[in-house]
Structure 1
C-alpha cells in the first residue's frame, strides 16, 4: 500500500516539477484563518532560494486538504489562529499524501492548538505526536539550532516545542507550537520583529525546506 502511494506521489511530483520546485498553503475548513501571514511563505521561499540552493517558485500555491492536487506539492504549510475541521475524506487524503512521501508543516499562529491536535488524530489515529529532540536533522542543517525550535513570539511565554508524526522512522508531519515561525517570516512592517529574530525564523524554515527537498 505504501509503495503504491509513493508511486502516486512521485508521478504527480515529477510531472509538476519542471525546472523549479513548488510548495503550497493549506486552505482548510472550520472557520480558522488559514490565510493568516500572507507574506510569510513568499519571504521564506526567497530566503531559502538565496541561502540554501532551493529553486522554489516565488508564489506558493493554495490547496485544499481533500483535493488530489496536494500530491503535486512535496511541502505543504498550514497556519492560523482558530478552529480547524477535517472531514473523513480530507483526513484520509492527507494521510495518503503523507504516507506517499509528502510533508505537512503545521504552525500554530496562537489559538490553533486546542483544535488541531484533535484533527491530527483523525489523520493518524494510531500515531501519537512525539516531541522532536534538538538532535534531529531538521535542527542541524543547513543552519544549526543547538537548542531546537527557536522562540519567535512570546504569546504565553511557554517554551517552543516541535512535535512530529513519524512513519517508518521518517518525519512526515511537523507541528510547531509556541514558536510562531510564520510570524517571523512575515514582512518586517507586520510585527516589527528585530532582524535577528526574523533571521532565526527564516533559517529554521529553510531547514524544513532543506529536509523535504534534499533528504
Structure 2
C-alpha cells in the first residue's frame, strides 16, 4: 500500500516537474522522485523529534522502544542506559512525570585518578560540540562560591571538586532547554548535559509540590 501511494506521488511529481516530457520518459525518473519523497519525509520526521529520536510527552514504553541497548536502571519515573557521546562513556537517563517524558540527561562517566584539570578539559569538547549544533549559548554562568582557587587556572579541578566553582552553559530550541554543566562537592565531580522540555517541565515541579503537600 505504501509503495503504491509513493508511486502515485512520484507520477504526479514527475508530470508536474517534466510537463513537456513523454510519460514513458518521465517514469524513468520515478525512482529518483520516490527517493526524494522519502528523504523529505525523513527530514520532516527528524525535525519533529526533540531529543535522540524521541519527543517530549512520550510514555516510558514508547521511549524504551527507541533504544536498542540494555536497560541499566529503571523505576516508575526514569529509565537509564549506558551509551556513548563524543567517544565518551555516559549514563543516559530519561525522566518521566505521569508517564510523560519531561527531561533527559547524559552524565559523563570517565573517572580520573586525581582532581586535576582533566575533568574540566573533558568538559570543553562537550560545550564546543553543542555550540556547533545549537549556535551561540544564550547563557553561560561561571559561578564562584569562594575565592580560594580563583585566579589559579592550574587548580580549577580542585576548585570544582571542593564545590568552589561550577559552570553552566545553556542553549534553547523551540521546545527544549539544553544545559551543559560541571560541578562538584566533597571531592566528587560531575559533568554532562541535560535536556529539558520547556512545555512539560512544570509537570515535574507540580508533582514535587503535590508530594510535599501530602506531608502536611
Fold match by TM threshold 0.5: no
TM-score, scaled relative to structure 1: 0.35
Larger RCO (CA under 8 A, 6+ residues apart): 1
Tell which structure's C-alpha radius of gyration is larger: 2
